[in-house]
Amino acid sequence: MVLRTFEHDRGREKGDAVKRTRLWLAALVAVFALVVASCADEDGGGETAATGPTAETAATGATGETGFPAFTTLEEGVLQVANCLDYPPFESVVDGDEVGFDIDLVEEVAGRLGLTVEWIRADFDTVFTAVAGDQFDMVAAAATILPEREDIVDFSVPYYNSRQSLTVNTQETPDITTTDQLGEGDVVGVQKGTTGKIWAEENLVPNGVELKTFQLASDMFRDLEAGNVQGIINDEPASAEIVKGLPALEVVQAIDTNEKYGFAFSPSNPELREAFNLAFEQAVADGAYADILLEYFPGVEVPEEFQPTA
């Protein structure tokens, strides 16, 4: 796998110089294969197209065997994926390697499409407009599917069900156990561009709570640890993972917001999203999704919609 950093303001232009996979070549390969198979039948020699091995098509790796539709990527044979890489257990960097639920799931699906993943570090608050502008192929960043985001990007089928949560510093504010106890004079940390920020704006600000916005999730947890904010509103699974190494912090309340995560794609490339969806559903059906989920969330019950069927 490859990791590089995306600088939003550099105005990188791919244009005609971008190498896009030409999967129409697959049709030519398939036609040629049929012609060869037909000749073999006439000679009484070789396998027919129906029983013989299916050759791979162009560099994206879609095959007749799996039936994935033709699609293109910005770079031949590569899936460029934007990610904050600062949000365990979904995505982070450990000893120089990208790890996490989103990381493993995307690489599993990309492998089924014959693609190598290139991870690109990007800011969460600009990542949707960037992918819509074809700066990379997709976004995998524990992103909730929202109508306002769907105005900018096209989402995959949902791949994870999530909730928000309240995290506090039990040494500084041991009596705070619910958002109902927050009010005038309290400061709550939120991450820029997230649904946690949206929820806090709608439910806490009217009660007099002041919001402190952070670019990175890790920074707001450090601020809570230092006692500079009274709480954090953030996705429950990520908060639960982050506080494992911070003994003063505790997730004290789960907030059910019925959120579903999706992978984001440029509206200009619906074929890639369709192929990704089909490969993802294949991974669900054969149990690969459940294996990855339980690796990062051991002991949880795999939701019904993600149960293996094969």
Task: Say whether both 145 and 246 belong to one domain.
Answer: no
User: What pLDDT, on the 0 to 100 scale, is given for residue 56?
Assistant: 36
Q: Is residue 183 part of a domain?
A: yes
Q: Is residue 127 part of a domain?
A: yes
Task: Say whether both 174 and 129 belong to one domain.
Answer: no
Q: What does the pLDDT look like over 6-54, one tens digit per residue?
A: 654 433 444 443 344 333 333 333 433 333 333 333 333 333 333 332 3
Q: What does the pLDDT look like over 84-143, one tens digit per residue?
A: 999 999 999 999 999 999 999 999 999 999 999 999 999 999 999 999 999 999 999 999
Task: Say whether both 267 and 255 belong to one domain.
Answer: no
Per the structure, the complete domain to which residue 281 belongs is given by 2-23+58-159+262-306
With a cut of 60, say whether residue 271 has pLDDT above it. Answer: yes
Q: Is the peptide bond before 174 cis (omega within 30 degrees of 0)?
A: no
More confident residue, 79 or 3: 79
Task: Say whether both 145 and 193 belong to one domain.
Answer: no
d(CA 67, CA 60): 13
pLDDT over 70 percentage in the chain: 79
Which among 220, 239, 259 is the end of a domain? 259
**H-only helix segments in the chain:** 24-43, 101-112, 127-132, 147-150, 195-203, 217-225, 236-242, 270-285, 288-296
Q: Total structural domains in the chain? A: 2
Task: Say whether both 105 and 226 belong to one domain.
Answer: no
Task: Say whether both 209 and 278 belong to one domain.
Answer: no
Q: Is residue 29 part of a domain?
A: no
User: What pLDDT, on the 0 to 100 scale, is given for residue 226?
Assistant: 97
pTM for the full predicted model? 0.75
Average pLDDT over residues 159-176: 97
Task: Say whether both 249 and 111 belong to one domain.
Answer: no
Q: Is residue 244 part of a domain?
A: yes
With cut-offs at 50, 70 and 90, classify the pLDDT of residue 166: very high
Task: Specify the CATH number for the domain of residue 240.
Answer: 3.40.190.10
Cβ atoms 138, 81 nearer than 8 A: yes
Task: Say whether both 66 and 155 belong to one domain.
Answer: yes
Q: Is residue 36 part of a domain?
A: no
Task: Say whether both 138 and 279 belong to one domain.
Answer: yes
Report CA-CA distances (Å) from 78 to 11, 47, 62, 102, 258: 21, 32, 13, 17, 33
